[in-house]
A and B are shown apart, each in its own frame.
Chain A
Amino acid sequence: MNTSPDNTTPGFNGHDHELMQRARALHEHACEHVDAATRAKLAMARHQASAAQDHRPRRMIWLPATGAAVACALVIGLVWFKPQPNNPDAPPAQVAAMPDAELPPDADARQFDLYQNLDFYQWLARQPQTRARPPGGRR
């Protein structure tokens, strides 16, 4: 029994060499004489594989371009719709520029009763000013 690991050692004798040569010759001959139907199927399989390759670079080209466009749109959107500093005391810029008279009554305002009794307060404003004496106060 031959236990040599490879044909590069002397353990592979001429018989092994002849066997390998014969096997390869038969294989080469069989590869050269493949029937037409199988050759056609192999060619079709190869064309399908090549078509898969043709689609691949196109997708790779569009991928960075699409990513760059999306990034640009995102940056523009962030700059354009940048949120204003949230200061509760300061009125919004557009509202602050408007005259007070054009302001509609604010339903959520604290002085909602002022607008309900507006006639009374107008009458009160027309009355002459008198100094009210505080109870128990000094003169």
Chain B
Amino acid sequence: MHGIGDDVDGLGRLAGTVEVSLAGAALAEATLETARPVARSIDAFLASVERRAWRAAEIALNDSDEALDAVQDAMLRLVRHYSAKPAEEWPLLFWGILRRRITDLQRRRTVRNRVLVWTGRTRLDEDGGELPAWDAPDPGPDPARAFASRQAYAAMSAAVRKLPRRQQQAFLLRVLEGLDVADTACAMGCSEGSVKTHLSRALDALRGQLEAWR
């Protein structure tokens, strides 16, 4: 039997759902953007960002050596051209430089792969086997837990890597690095609306991947 009490309960549940949704959105907004301390020197800034930059480049490029080259090049360009800028601008400039460098390497790789496919050659290691797609991080003190984390990270990296380039950049900068929408737009060289659209589409594509990341 459907009565007034059921309607009240339904409205209560609906209100609760809306509250949870709004609370979740607010929480996401609060936790998505990471406030990092302003570095006192450019060396301190580079030391604080180098590992995250390398991991982000590794996800995008799927090659640790190329990721290292991209990070080193970004460091040099930042120091040579922008070290006189205020320290508050360094993160934005650095991620913008790194993003362009990664895009450049991805385009070169695309051309190289086309040539290799056309000539019938594949990339092999010294033993003749195909190179691994991903270098595992250091296992750490707890091998079982580290292995699970490593597997989850590998799954996440593979899923992010499959995204279109602009969605991948929006996810890396906005979600993993924690830049706000304006800084992400500046680093990507597009409008804030485009950042939101790319991120929304990236989350659409990744929505079914969460179980594999646990």
Q: Which residues of A contact B (CB under 8 A)?
A: 1-24, 26-27, 29-36, 38-39, 41-43, 45-46, 48-50, 52-53, 56
Q: List 15 A-B contacts (CB under 8 A).
A: A4-B200, A5-B193, A9-B25, A10-B25, A17-B28, A19-B210, A22-B213, A22-B214, A39-B51, A45-B71, A45-B72, A46-B50, A46-B75, A49-B79, A52-B76
Q: Which residues of B contact A (CB under 8 A)?
A: 18, 20-22, 24-25, 27-29, 31-32, 42-43, 46-47, 50-52, 54-56, 64, 68, 71-72, 75-76, 78-80, 83, 137-140, 146, 149, 152-153, 156, 160, 171, 175-176, 178, 181, 193, 196-197, 199-200, 203-204, 206-207, 209-210, 213-214
Cβ contact within 8 Å between B200 and A27: no
Cβ contact within 8 Å between B156 and A26: yes
- Please indicate the chain B residues that have their CB under 8 angstroms from the CB of A32 in the complex: 51
A49 to chain B, nearest CB (A): 4
- Please indicate the chain B residues that have their CB under 8 angstroms from the CB of A38 in the complex: 54, 64, 68
Which residue of the partner chain, among A1, A3, A50, contacts B46 with CB atoms under 8 Å?
A50
Cβ contact within 8 Å between A30 and B137: yes
A14 to chain B, nearest CB (A): 5
- Please indicate the chain A residues that have their CB under 8 angstroms from the CB of B199 in the complex: 5-7
Which residue of the partner chain, among B46, B68, B200, B207, contacts A15 with CB atoms under 8 Å?
B207
Which residue of the partner chain, among A1, A7, A9, A27, contacts B32 with CB atoms under 8 Å?
A7
Known: A14-B24, A20-B28. A29 touches B153 (CB 8 A): yes
Cβ contact within 8 Å between A34 and B138: yes
Chain B residue at minimal CB-CB distance from A18: B210
Q: How far is the CA of A30 from the CA of B55 in the complex (A)?
A: 8
